[in-house]
Amino acid sequence: MYSLPGMCSIIHVGKNEKIKTIKEAISQAHELDTVLVHGGYYKEGNIFISKKIVLKGIDLPTLDGENKHQIISVKANGVVVDGFKIVHSGTSSLEDIAGIKLYDVRDAVVQNNVLDDTFFGIYTQRGINCLIQNNVLTSARKQEQASGNGIHCWKSDSMRIINNTIKGHRDGIYFEFVTNSVIWRNVSTSNLRYGLHFMFSNSDSYISNIFRYNGAGVSVMFSHHVKMFNNYFEENWGDGAYGILLKEIADSYIDGNHFIKNTSAIYMEGVSRTIMVKNVFRNNGWALKIQASCMETELHDNVFLGNTFDVGTNGSLVLNNFDGNYWDKYEGYDLNKNGIGDLPYRPVSMYSMIVERNPPAMILFHSFMTSLLDKTEKVLPTLTPENLADTKPLMKLPFRL
């Protein structure tokens, strides 16, 4: 009863096989074996994996946690969990019960699973170099307390979260103390709180994800060296909902993202040394809410189209650079035909300042009165910060939409 490298075996599990339960198969398996689970319905409580094996489902076998158990617990390095339907995990306010939980492991792969009605979906603590890809996670729980996060990573490093679809959880993807990781091509929609929640996680990238209809949008806080490229943030509606909430972010890049129909596309507080280029802001309530605590943020080649307010702010101190963006509300001219408007554009309108101070004033928006106020303010700026201006507004779109 020993196994040599290259002599690993395949153990079949199923109704018509010799071994009927996954637990039995795992207990018989050796390191590097493959446990193949055939389609069917398995109610085995909590399945522990403490050997380096491949657990693979064929025809999407269902593992049911009967609303009591955590379903798969992985406690060995290099485990692969592939192709299961994992349903009805337990719910607890003391423990973080998950559909699949990875404890202190490295090089694990969780892929092609379908998770339905789990408390937490896929949970990693102290994981290193794990790959979570092509999973579909759905939860239909109504309350934040009764709902966990879709993909939850805590104190992990070099994680790859790729092409997952997450719906209806508390936070779609949750990162806390996770470094050097990538979140790529995920779709996170209709989550109760955030589509992506990201704290104390440095040097991570998120690329080409879609965040849509989330209760409070996306929140990125207390991190540095974050890269956000080509993501879509759409229809995050509500007073506390932001396309992205950026709080205490430094040395980051926000590049090529699309913000469409959010109440506030980006809310920035305490953001420093961050470069935002080639983002598209379209039909948002506020494209940017930039607090006076932000500094050395550079915005250029961004496109602002059809937003109710382009920029809102809370003070007169401006330590950021807004030069070289395209604003559809710009009314200046370009006499020397160099593509740059000759007059500066002030994206903060008088009325956005009024609404910032007194939100019910929104009821008067677009009235003759407010248009007059805006026009007089343009001639003689008093309320709006004088330095918040784009001195080189672009006359034409900097790139094709």
Partner 1 sequence: MKKIIKYIITDILRNKIILSYTAFLLAISFTIFSLEDNSTKGLLSLLNIVLIIVPLISIIFSTIYIYNSAEFIELLVSQPLQRKKIWLGLFTGLAGSFTIAFLIGAGIPIILFEATAVGFMILAVGILLSIIFVAIAMFAAVKIRDKAKGIGVTILLWLYFSLLFDGIVLFLLFQFSDYPIEKPMIAVSMLNPIDIGRILILLKMDVSALMGYTGAVFKDFFGTTTGMVTSFLILALWMICPLLISLRKFDRKDL
CA atoms of 196 and 360, how far apart (whole Å): 30
Instruction: Pick between residue 305 and residue 389 the one whose CB is nearest to partner 1.
Output: 305
- 223 exposure class (CB count in 10 Å sphere: 0-12, 13-18, 19+): buried
User: Residue 283 Cβ, how far from partner 1 at the closest point, in Å?
Assistant: 6
Contact set with partner 1 (CB under 8 A): 237-239, 241, 261-263, 283-286, 305-306, 308-309, 328-329, 357-372
User: Residue 242 Cβ, how far from partner 1 at the closest point, in Å?
Assistant: 11
Instruction: Pick between residue 289 and residue 346 the one whose CB is nearest to partner 1.
Output: 289
- Secondary structure of residue 72 in the 3-state scheme: strand
Give CA separation, 256 vs 207, 237, 367, in Å: 10, 22, 35
User: Residue 287 Cβ, how far from partner 1 at the closest point, in Å?
Assistant: 10
User: Residue 235 Cβ, how far from partner 1 at the closest point, in Å?
Assistant: 8
CA atoms of 194 and 185, how far apart (whole Å): 17
User: Residue 263 Cβ, how far from partner 1 at the closest point, in Å?
Assistant: 5
Instruction: Pick between residue 120 and residue 286 the one whose CB is nearest to partner 1.
Output: 286
Helix axes 350-357, 368-379, angle to 10 degrees: 120
Where are the strands (E) in 88-241, listed by range? 98-103, 109-111, 114-116, 120-125, 131-133, 136-138, 151-157, 160-162, 165-167, 173-179, 182-184, 187-189, 196-199, 205-207, 210-212, 217-224, 227-229, 232-234
Instruction: Pick between residue 231 and residue 263 the one whose CB is nearest to partner 1.
Output: 263
Where are the strands (E) in 8-77, listed by range? 10-13, 34-37, 41-42, 47-49, 54-57, 62-64, 72-74
User: Residue 311 Cβ, how far from partner 1 at the closest point, in Å?
Assistant: 13
Instruction: Pick between residue 261 and residue 346 the one whose CB is nearest to partner 1.
Output: 261
Instruction: For CA atoms 236, 237, 241, 245, give the dihedral sign.
Output: positive
Instruction: Pick between residue 191 and residue 262 the one whose CB is nearest to partner 1.
Output: 262
CA atoms of 21 and 23, how far apart (whole Å): 5
Instruction: Pick between residue 16 and residue 239 the one whose CB is nearest to partner 1.
Output: 239
User: Residue 364 Cβ, how far from partner 1 at the closest point, in Å?
Assistant: 5
